[in-house]
Amino acid sequence: MSDRLPMQELADAGQSVWLDYIRRDLMETGELDAMIDAGLRGMTSNPSIFEKAIGGSDLYDEAIATLLAERPDATAVEIFESLAIDDIRAACDAFARVYEETSGADGFVSLEVAPDLAHDTETTISEAKRLWAAVDRPNLMIKVPATPEGLPAITELIASGVNVNVTLIFSLAHYEAVANAFIAGIEQNAAPHEVASVASVFISRIDSAVDKLLDEEGSGAALALRGEIAVANCKVVYALSEELFGDDFEAIWGRGVRPQRPLWASTSTKDPDYSDVKYVEELVGEGTVNTVPPATLDAFEDHGVATPGAVAEGLAEARSAIAALSGLGVDLDAVCDELRAKGVTAFVDAFDGMLSAIDEKKARLLGA
């Protein structure tokens, strides 16, 4: 039996592994505790994950029936929120030991504001604060999308002491705007050392979209860039994060203020021609987080290699690859803006699908 602990190897390289998945049985069976023992350092959720967990299983039927027995007029949104808050609290409690061991640097669990608020700044702020108070755990992170309307919400929430996981970041421009929104919030926070944030950069969707355009262009130069751009994009993001949150940041803010960490999201490989651990192995970096779905985590634990500093290597080549796109007729910024818009739509659709599934369960359980 191997003594290898892949998640610990990543931790030794300065990177935290978070699980991009949540389901009630993880907490109830002790499976999550075992993963934490093996080195897991956090967890993320989103509407798609909850849609599969609640709508795609009967794990929540008993809890729904109990809630309906007390409140038969409860709406699907109210039922979802009750279930989600219970799950998020349980996960936060499981990660409390990580949070305490790291003095609040890790051990976070993320809960997203309703995705249909992505273009509503004020309601995003009020809903994020409401959820923060409802869950009432210091290692909670509220997920807010990196839309133009989300940026002032990020600043206000950070200023108010709410931990924020900024989601749906695709381009370098998206990332820079988010980092500046975080810094603006820190400037307004009387106790900035008590707040934490991550900037979630989505990865595999970029390669899927760009590869399609490169295939259409068809030249040798275009095809040579297939599968290179998403990682290259992360490398330039990481370089900027080092500039913004390096030693100067600590010197300016002191007081234990934590930099906003880049988080690599959407790390499951979509193209079967690529390694199933591509977006883990090539993105190892000090001060980063990689949130991985279960299948990708299993693959990395089976055959992944943790190379310290991998994401910081080949920066010049990464910039050259991105620069070459424009000569091939590919506008990366436009692609990323479209991906962000599609990401919002996909989460809204997943949220609506989950509410429909809850309504069906409600009708069935009340009928029974």
Say if residues 48 and 55 touch (Cβ distance below 8 Å).
no
Pick the closest to residue 260 from 338, 355, 164, 336 (CA basis).
164
Torsion of CA 72, 78, 80, 82, to 10 degrees: -90
292 token code pair: 């991985």
CA distances from 181 to 42, 188, 339, 367 (A): 23, 11, 21, 49
* DSSP β-bridge partners for residue 141: 110
> Tokens at residue 73, please?
């007029």
Residues 179, 241 contacting (CB under 8 angstroms): yes
What is the SS3 string spanning 47-66?
HHHHHHHHHCCCCCHHHHHH
Which residues are marked as active site?
143
Q: What are the φ and ψ backbone dihedral angles of 231, each rounded to 5 degrees? A: -70, -40
Supply the DSSP string of 100-142, one letter for each residue: HHTTTSS-EEEEEPPGGGTT-HHHHHHHHHHHHHHH--TTEEE
Distance separating alpha carbons of residues 358 and 77, to the nearest angstrom:
9
Q: Are 181 and 151 in contact (CB under 8 A)?
A: yes
